[in-house]
Amino acid sequence: MKREITYKEAIAEGLAITMRTDENVVILGEDLVGGVGKGDDSLLDAWGGPFTVTKGFVKEFGLERIFDTPISENAFIGASIGASMIGLRPVVELMYGDFMGVCFDNFLNQAAKQRYMFGGAQKNPITVRTTYGCGWREGAHHSHVNYSLITHIPGWYVVAPSTPYDMKGCLISAIRNDNPVFVFEHRLLYDKKGVVPEGDYELEIGKGDIKKEGKDITVVAIGGTVNMAINVASKLENENISVEVIDPIWLAPLDEELILKSVEKTGNLLVVDEDNPRCSVATDIITLVAEKGLDYIVSKIKRLNCPNTPVPFSPVLEDEYMITEKKIEEAIKSVLK
Amino acid sequence: MKLSKEKLSDMLEKMLLARAFDTPLDDLVFESKIPATVHQCIGQEGNIGTIFPLNKDDYIFTGHRSHGLLLAKGLDPKKMMAEIFGKSTGYNKGKGGSMHITAPEYGAMGSNGILGYVTVLVNGPSFYSKLKKLNRVSVAYFGEGASNQGFVHEGMNLAAIWKLPTIFVLENNHYAEATAVEYACSTQDLALRGKAYGIPSYNVDGSDILEVYTKMQEVVENARNNKGPSLLVIDCYRYKGHQIGEPGGYRTEEEIQNYRNTKDPIMKFKKYLIGLGYLTEDKYIELEKKAKKIIDDAIKFADESPYPEPSETYTEVYV
């Protein structure tokens, strides 16, 4: 029987494997251990991060490899970028993607530009792990989906895996890669299970995956929406609608060929993206097809984003805001009608 | 400083109200009446002593753990509770939630989920007040964990060089989530963080609301008299977790019990008032019941209020 673990466990496995195979991998973030600073070892490992991903790590790797940080994102991410310039491979946890605002220069002007600006004289093998995704009723400062902001910046690789298998392999590749990589982890996927090999494996950077084959329409879905798209595709089989679900996995670099080939086959395109609509990854993929694959399109191109608003708190409003299977189904039918 | 019996009574009632407000939240979260976790200020009620020297039109900027402060500033518990429930009758029509309760009509300028950011926002109203000679002060509340954010240091420096009527209130409750102040802060004398910017900075004991009040009164007067910003560091303690449902484990039960038994701000104040002859055990129980009734009514109001219409999702993105 094939082993199944959760998305969260897949993250932990990927992290632990890279730490075991390379002593230069260190991890930093708020409450990654928990209970530090009291001089009482029985309190250590109280949390293992706010989402308990690194629970138990301190026992294996010690406080020399896993660092609790103050609430100083600029300081610990900046230090990680600096350390990456002379040989460490820091993996930093930015608790919520929303918090990139407090430390954005690290992402906008530093890690992303050093390689180019210094004519290849520097490299920044840093990995930033962050959580994203609405649906947790946490309001506008803890729910924003904003991977498009990082995807926009040249110099970053960006990955938003949808399955435990992809997560583990992509995370290992990300940490071992010499470029800065931003890993977006969907919070609603943390407890989702999937088949994952126990050993060490890497997945190719920039390579997407066909999650379900079909012939009538291509649905490109990202991160948290991939499983929804697969469910909708299965449901629509009963109505003789054949949906191909493409998961680009990596937003940068983007697997353009995979998307274009699929659109060539199906002739129709829907892009599902939880980020806000303007200047989004969906917009980007639509542009790709408009520029390079317009001849393949037989009916319509459509995108489905969350609305152009911040994330509201009230459950009624947040449910309205979020992408749902029903919305995906309606969007597919509106393309095909 | 001699305070009237009425003023002291009002302080006690506001402390009891704060505790009564946060106490039932655990159950309401577990029952999913409240759709998400919240941050309680139980144990930190002495900090609301900072509100009493303020006028209604003075400004406060608060963070994620601010229910008690907002109640003391005069906000209606019904509309606060409704906001936390995500109802349309809440202060922010259910769009904000517990972390973002905002009522500018009370000077409650906006609860913020980005730690420490209030320390830069706060200088806006104080700058305006100084420019327009409004004689209002502007107060930022943040924790010892947030004091490690760059914002805080930039905000303090700007307030100092412009001599703004800004008051920085650092609520040191000893833990930033699961991380202790002893680990995360380079000094345990957090007043040094203000002194470094030439700001008069004071450590006060948050278990003594009168000590908090008295020092706040002094720094508010200084701010109104154009003497510039101050920093108040309140040593306090939260009995509950960082948020409802957190796993705990980063501090000992004995530590929590010790604070409850020896440094509870309400118990200490109660004892003081009984000593003055201003309060009896019976009267205290009556006040506790009164606070509970107000909160029971607030919960009922929130529970019976309608959710917003889904179409409200798309409104108020722009003016």
Taking only the tens place, the pLDDT of each residue in B59-76 is 999 999 999 999 999 999
Q: Minimal Cα–Cα distance from A55 to chain B, Å? A: 12
Residue whose pair of structure tokens reads 């650092």 in the numeric block: B170
The answer on pLDDT for B171 being more than 70 is: yes
pLDDT for A1 = 72
For residue B233, the cross-strand partners are B170, B203
| Residues of A tagged active-site | 142
The answer on pLDDT for B1 being more than 70 is: no
Contact B86 A314 (CB under 8 A): yes
Peptide bond into B125 cis (omega under 30): no
Cβ-Cβ contacts under 8 Å, B146 against chain A: 71
Spatial CA neighbour of A301 closest among A322, A285, A315 = A285
Contact B178 A75 (CB under 8 A): no
The answer on pLDDT for A204 being more than 80 is: yes
Express each pLDDT in B222-255 by its tens digit: 999 999 999 999 999 999 999 999 999 999 999 9
The answer on pLDDT for A92 being more than 70 is: yes
Structure confidence at residue A299 as a pLDDT band (50, 70, 90): confident
Q: Minimal Cα–Cα distance from B4 to chain A, Å? A: 41
**Residue of B93, B178, B312 with shortest CB distance to A34:** B178
Express each pLDDT in A146-162 by its tens digit: 999 999 999 999 999 99
pLDDT for A289 = 97
Contact A34 B249 (CB under 8 A): yes
CATH of segment(s) B5-70+114-241+255-302: 3.40.50.970
**In Å, how far are A134, A196, B199 from B94, measured between CA atoms?**
16, 41, 38
The fraction of chain A above a pLDDT of 90, given in percent, is: 98
B274 interfacial to chain A (CB closer than 8 Å) = no
Fold of A209-336: Rossmann fold (3.40.50)
pLDDT for B198 = 98
Q: Where are the domains of chain B?
A: 5-70+114-241+255-302
Q: Minimal Cα–Cα distance from A178 to chain B, Å? A: 29
Contact A47 B250 (CB under 8 A): yes
Backbone angles phi, psi at B87, to 5 degrees: -95, 160
Does domain A4-195 bear CATH number 3.40.50.720?
no
Cβ-Cβ contacts under 8 Å, B117 against chain A: 102
- Within 8 A by CB and 6+ apart from B14, the residues are B48, B51, B68, B71, B72
3-state secondary structure of A67: strand
Q: Which of residues 23-42 of B touch A (CB under 8 A)?
A: 35-37
**Where does chain A have alpha helices with state H?**
7-21, 57-61, 73-84, 104-105, 114-117, 147-151, 164-176, 226-237, 256-266, 281-292, 315-321, 325-336
pLDDT for A57 = 97
Express each pLDDT in A5-33 by its tens digit: 999 999 999 999 999 999 999 999 999 99
Express each pLDDT in A304-336 by its tens digit: 999 999 999 999 999 999 999 999 999 999 999
Contact A314 B115 (CB under 8 A): no
Q: Where are the domains of chain A?
A: 4-195, 209-336
Contact B250 A140 (CB under 8 A): no
Q: Minimal Cα–Cα distance from B61 to chain A, Å? A: 16
Q: What is the DSSP string of A111-124?
A: TTTHHHHTTTS---
Helix or strand run (H / E) with residue A210: strand A209-212
B50-79: burial string, b at 16+ Cβ within 10 Å, e else? bbbbbeeebbbbbbbbbbbbbbbbebbbbb
The ipTM, to two decimals, is 0.88
The fraction of chain B above a pLDDT of 90, given in percent, is: 99
Which chain A residue has its CA at the smallest distance from B253's CA? A43
